[in-house]
Amino acid sequence: MNELFPIPCQSISHAHIKNISINEMRRILTRLGLSKVRTKGGHESWMKDGMSRPVIIQTHVDPIPEFIVRNALRTMGITKEEFITML
């Protein structure tokens, strides 16, 4: 848990991130307090006050590949375990 994203972290052993649908990712980003700030081509930029850079998700491929989900987690500073609790 960090101060920008106060999510209770449950202990999940063998946590695994998978490809997720665009709508599921949007729901999670909204739940974390991010807002869509821009759409350009096949990409959306999501931000929250206090973030130094936006979370970028591609909208032209559904489901969103795991590596893009992992990049978003890194940008938000949350762990995969915290993210999995949101699914």
For residue 78, give both structure tokens: 């949350």
**pTM of the full structure:** 0.79
Q: What is the pLDDT of residues 2-55, one digit of tens each?
A: 566 654 544 434 557 788 999 999 999 999 999 999 999 999 999 999 999 999
Q: Where are the alpha helices (DSSP H) in 4-79?
A: 22-31, 66-76
Cα separation, 78 vs 80, in Å, equals 7
pLDDT for position 1: 52
Of 65, 44, 66, whose CA–CA distance to 56 is shortest?
44
Place of tokens 């739940």: 31
